[in-house]
Amino acid sequence: MAGAIPIYQQGSGTQTFYVPAFEIKMRGHGLPRDVLRDVMQVTYKDSINDEMDSVELTINNWDDTTRKFKYVGLDDSDPRASKGLFNPGQEVEVYMGYQQPFVGPGNSSALKLMMIGQVTTLEQDFPNAGSPTLQVRAQNVLRNFLKQKHTYPWKDLKDSEIAKKLGQMPVSKDHPGLGIEVRIDKESLANEARQPIVFMHDQFDLLFLLERARAHGYSVYLGQEQKKRFLYFGPSDRDTFITYKLEWGKSLVQFHPTLTTTKQVSHVTIRGWEPAQ
């Protein structure tokens, strides 16, 4: 684990203690402090299958002082009811990472954008012990591209060329097309092999794009530049990843390993990418 940063280092004379942190933006702005204090848990889920990534927020929905609900379940006359922060359809940005605890609340440079999503589900929980909570689930806005399946042959093209053409083609029920700019990595394009034919069989356009990306170990994500959104297809161009070293009894306060022998595989394919090279 060469180059790993220890989360806790005793007697070093330097501050190397990091804590998990998150930031949530709704409507393009960070949550107000009083709302942020009610966020009890943030869970980000991703999958190597054809599922869109998602995030789930567990929020305290009860005011012990007024004995009323805070966000969902309010009477329309309550001024807080107009917030509508977590209404379905609201856009949410989720940032996660590790921060040093004493660098000040305004420092969010260590947090990485995990997902731009859209609230799709609200679920209230009224437990037999404890306060009522609100579960807010949001899915990646890329789910909006899962509208029409197509069957189509791509002839004599590299995968990055397919990605670029897929973005240039308009959305239609008759042929594939995402109708959004797809940016590719030119260096990777030069190293890809041209394929006589790539057959797209009854697939959503975006899931087909994800399939072609996984064949090379590429990333596909939604980016934004000067309020214009685009899709990126290629090797991860994010900042260099940081490896943290966790030690049981020091920085690692809970550890629950599991060994299972079910669903054993016959072989494993591992793909990797070195961002620095």
Are 94 and 168 within one domain? Answer: no
Are 36 and 105 within one domain? Answer: yes
Question: 273: Cβ–Cβ under 8 A, 6 or more apart, which residues?
Answer: 217, 235, 236
The answer to whether the beta carbons of residues 151 and 201 sit under 8 Å apart is yes
Are 110 and 193 within one domain? Answer: no
Are 89 and 47 within one domain? Answer: yes
Q: What is the number of domains present in the chain?
A: 2
Residue 241 lies in a domain: no
pLDDT at 54 over 80: yes
Q: Which domain holds residue 72?
A: 5-143
Question: 57: Cβ–Cβ under 8 A, 6 or more apart, which residues?
Answer: 24, 39, 41, 42, 43, 86, 135, 136, 137, 138
The whole-number pLDDT of residue 80 equals 56
Q: What is the CATH number of the domain that holds 218?
A: 3.55.50.10
The whole-number pLDDT of residue 252 equals 77
Residue 40 lies in a domain: yes
Residue 101 lies in a domain: yes
The whole-number pLDDT of residue 12 equals 52
pLDDT at 108 over 60: no
Residue 38 lies in a domain: yes
Q: What is the CATH number of the domain that holds 85?
A: 2.40.10
Structure tokens at 254: 């809970």
Lowest mean per-residue pLDDT among 11-15, 86-90, 111-115, 261-265: 11-15
For 58-94, the pLDDT digits (tens) are 999 988 888 888 887 766 566 555 467 888 888 999 9
CA distance 177 to 100: 44
Scan for tokens 């966000």, then name that residue: 71
The whole-number pLDDT of residue 83 equals 63
Mean pLDDT, rounded, for 18-41: 86
Q: Mean pLDDT for the chain?
A: 83
Are 40 and 154 within one domain? Answer: no
Scan for tokens 């989720």, then name that residue: 94
Are 162 and 187 within one domain? Answer: yes
Are 112 and 226 within one domain? Answer: no
User: Measuring CA to CA, which residue among 238, 244, 218, 196 is closest to residue 20?
Assistant: 244
CA distance 9 to 30: 32
pLDDT at 104 over 70: no
For 172-230, the pLDDT digits (tens) are 999 999 999 999 999 899 999 999 999 999 999 999 999 999 889 898 888 888 878 89
Burial class (CB in 10 A: 0-12, 13-18, 19+), 211: middle
The whole-number pLDDT of residue 241 equals 58
Are 101 and 88 within one domain? Answer: yes
Are 132 and 171 within one domain? Answer: no
Are 122 and 55 within one domain? Answer: yes
Torsion of CA 231, 237, 238, 243, to 10 degrees: 140
- Burial string for 51-84 (b: 16+ CB within 10 Å, else e) reads ebbbbebbbbbbeeeeeebbbbebeeeeebeeee
Are 138 and 210 within one domain? Answer: no
The whole-number pLDDT of residue 67 equals 86
